[in-house]
Amino acid sequence: MCGIVGAIAEKNIVPVLLDGLFSLEYRGYDSAGLVITSNGLQRLRTAGRVAELEKKVAEQKTNGFAGIAHTRWATHGEPSERNAHPHLSSRESKIAVVHNGIIENHEIMRKRLQNEGFQFDSDTDTEVIAHLIAFNLRKSDSLLKAVSQSISELQGAYAIAVIEESHPERIVVARNGAPLLLGLGEDGNYAASDASALLKTTRNMVYLEDGDIAELYKDHYAVYECKNGILGPEINRPVHQSDLTSDAIDLGPYDHFMQKEIFEQPGAVANTLEMVLNAQAISPGLFGSAAEKIFSQTKGLLILACGTSYHAGLVARYWLETIAGLPCTVEIASEYRYRNPIADAHTLVVGISQSGETADTLAAMSYAKTLGHLHNLAICNVAESALIRQTDLRFLTRAGPEIGVASTKAFTTQLASLLLLTTVLAKMRNKLPPEKEASVIAALRHLPAALQSTLQIEPEVQEWSQRFSEKRHALFLGRGVHYPIAMEGALKLKEISYIHAEAYASGELKHGPLALVDKEMPVVAIAPNDQLLSKLKSNLQEVHARGGELYVFADADTQIEESDQIHVIRLAEHAGILSPILHTIPLQLLAYHVALVKGTDVDKPRNLAKAVTVE
């Protein structure tokens, strides 16, 4: 949450900062600001979106050769111009700081610095960093040392960029628990929260590690290790060529990133499964070189995740139990980390995360390790993320950058990966004879095409959207492996259209929620033609008999009669094992089109941000 950009070059860097902020807006979008070193530190800040900041920059014709910038998702202090970054300390040396993350000991530090005479102008934890660095600068001969000293006094997870009025020729950045990378350009050096922010300027990236601190000048840079406030020797971090293309982060012909990402799903899944689609057999090596050994000892799985990724885990539980015969528990990471669960050394812990940055998932994964789980695996969409770095095994979903705040292609690629994992484990446990393995591979091979044809139902879904947009509540029903898909459908609808939506396992209806059903409560049902269909149909009758209006997503061969109160959209095919993946598509489209009718900000729903890097 929150996006940082820094730039120092031989050219006016304001366009780079603004471009970077636009790319990082998915990380937070309630206020934005920048500081440029040009006749002192020039600061511009706005409440609201980066576009507001851009207007201000244009009005004031701001330009300069060095600067830091920020787009915010408020944690401490309301979203307002006063709380927007950069924050300054002006008492002695004038410095400016941008920050992503949370400083946990900010209250105590604030008091200490107030006692030293520093005056606070905002409610943020970030301002503590600015004053602390200024305070330590009194005793240091360089900003680098003052920053090293300061970060040793701060508790929490953060990435920061700092600039000093009296030394406009350098920027200092530091990382501890929040992402930060350097971009090495031909005419300058840059820093950002993620590579997408710098792609228009450079593809040469240096990913900083936790505990790294770096100094950027226009023509050189240096990275140092920093432990307990002591600045270590300069270290060599490898330079990576980013293979992201700017297409991946441009809207192209689409109106919204969510729409683009929904329609990218066939390609995203094909990329994720690339190694498998041409293979005759699926091997454990797909999950890392140690996977075969670890999987051979695996007696069960514990899946930890949040939000949409948690729903992917819930689907996987059905597969793992049914196909691989392995016990599987799925837990919301923020709950798991504060329980006292009983660990089993050979229960493999699987963290699922699009961003690989979700604070609760990271903490839950570490906690599981301390409890005695021997091995862990990440299923993640970001190669350089903290989650990928901290796990023994990993599988990268290759969905490409997901920018819309509501997760879509990350979910379906997670499901495809989890089906692969299930297949590998089943095979190693002799639960999957070769002909069955061949049929799973064939199904996976067909998945991109099946997704493509499922997307064709968009116009039919769109027809329903007007009616939904007039409602205040909706109920989503599913059974078995499709119950988590109903949960995902409800989450999508509520987060982007602000319609209250709840998902129930349809067998639970008569245990309470049926009381809510009337003509004002649309009931969405996922009705694949599987062994639970007859049970589901009885549940739907219960709704119908009470005047509820049903919106059913069925398979091509599901026998369900349409009527005034029962509307049915049929998916092009009956997908068997892949059914939950295909049934996700109409629910994403429904949420998207309802949000369009309601005129909400589809890609940046209120109060949310893409990567939830705080607790």
Site string for ligand F6R, 378-417 (x = CB under 6 A): ----------------------------xx----------
Smallest separation (angstroms) from ligand F6R to the CB of 468: 18
Count of residues of this chain found to bind ligand F6R when the rule CB under 6 A is applied: 15
**Inter-residue contact 589 to 262 (CB < 8 Å):** yes
For 425, phi then psi, to 5°, come to: -65, -40
**Inter-residue contact 431 to 253 (CB < 8 Å):** no
Smallest separation (angstroms) from ligand F6R to the CB of 316: 14
List of residues 6+ apart from 36 with CB closer than 8 A = 13, 14, 42, 62, 63, 64, 66, 67
Task: Provide the 8-state DSSP code for 78.
Answer: -
Q: Does 242 bind ligand F6R (CB under 6 A)?
A: no
Smallest separation (angstroms) from ligand F6R to the CB of 3: 15
Q: Is 306 a catalytic residue?
A: no
Q: Given the residues 2, 226, 306, 328, select the one marked as catalytic.
A: 2
Q: Is 2 a catalytic residue?
A: yes
In terms of CB distance, is 265 or 309 closer to ligand F6R? 309
Neighbouring C-beta atoms of residue 161, cutoff 10 Å: 31
Single residue of 1, 213, 273, 612 touching ligand F6R by CB under 6 A = 612
Smallest separation (angstroms) from ligand F6R to the CB of 451: 18
In terms of CB distance, is 62 or 407 closer to ligand F6R? 407
Q: How would you label 295-317 residue by residue, b for 16+ Cβ within 10 Å and e otherwise?
A: beebeebbbbbbbbbbbbbbbbb
In terms of CB distance, is 221 or 411 closer to ligand F6R? 411
In terms of CB distance, is 221 or 592 closer to ligand F6R? 592
List of residues 6+ apart from 175 with CB closer than 8 A = 158, 159, 208, 209, 210, 211, 212, 213
- Residue whose C-alpha is closest to residue 583's, from 554, 550, 562: 554
Smallest separation (angstroms) from ligand F6R to the CB of 397: 10
Q: Does 358 bind ligand F6R (CB under 6 A)?
A: yes
For 273, phi then psi, to 5°, come to: -95, 10
Smallest separation (angstroms) from ligand F6R to the CB of 156: 19
Smallest separation (angstroms) from ligand F6R to the CB of 387: 8
Q: Given the residues 145, 537, 604, 610, select the one marked as catalytic.
A: 610
Smallest separation (angstroms) from ligand F6R to the CB of 311: 8
**Inter-residue contact 156 to 101 (CB < 8 Å):** yes
In terms of CB distance, is 184 or 524 closer to ligand F6R? 524
Describe the crossing of helices 483-497 and 307-322 by its angle, rounded to 10 degrees: 170
Half-sphere exposure of 377 (CA within 13 A, CB side): 30
Half-sphere exposure of 255 (CA within 13 A, CB side): 7
Neighbouring C-beta atoms of residue 177, cutoff 10 Å: 18
Outline where 154-289 has alpha helix (H). 246-249, 257-263, 265-272, 274-277
In terms of CB distance, is 19 or 402 closer to ligand F6R? 402
Report the alpha-carbon distance of residue 378 to residue 511 in Å, rounded: 37
DSSP string, 155-173: -EEEEEEEEETTEEEEEEE
Task: List the interface residues with ligand F6R, window 328-357 (CB under 6 A).
Answer: 353-355
**Inter-residue contact 392 to 375 (CB < 8 Å):** yes
Smallest separation (angstroms) from ligand F6R to the CB of 386: 11
Task: List the interface residues with ligand F6R, window 290-319 (CB under 6 A).
Answer: 306-309
Give, rounded to a whole angstrom, the gap between the first and last alpha carbons of the chain: 11
The tokens for 497 are 């259209």
Report the alpha-carbon distance of residue 217 to residue 314 in Å, rounded: 48
For 132, phi then psi, to 5°, come to: -65, -40
Smallest separation (angstroms) from ligand F6R to the CB of 185: 29
Burial class (CB in 10 A: 0-12, 13-18, 19+), 382: buried
In terms of CB distance, is 157 or 514 closer to ligand F6R? 157
For 14, the 3-state DSSP assignment is helix
Task: Provide the 8-state DSSP code for 229.
Answer: T
Neighbouring C-beta atoms of residue 256, cutoff 10 Å: 20
In terms of CB distance, is 36 or 596 closer to ligand F6R? 596
Q: Does 613 bind ligand F6R (CB under 6 A)?
A: no
Half-sphere exposure of 328 (CA within 13 A, CB side): 24
Task: List the interface residues with ligand F6R, window 2-31 (CB under 6 A).
Answer: none
Report the alpha-carbon distance of residue 427 to residue 170 in Å, rounded: 56
In terms of CB distance, is 308 or 600 closer to ligand F6R? 308
Strands, E, within 228-311: which ranges?
230-235, 239-241, 300-305
Smallest separation (angstroms) from ligand F6R to the CB of 525: 21
Site string for ligand F6R, 479-508 (x = CB under 6 A): ------------x---x-------------
In terms of CB distance, is 353 or 412 closer to ligand F6R? 353
Binding site for ligand F6R (CB under 6 A): 306-309, 353-355, 358, 361, 406-407, 491, 495, 611-612
Active site (catalytic) residues:
2, 610
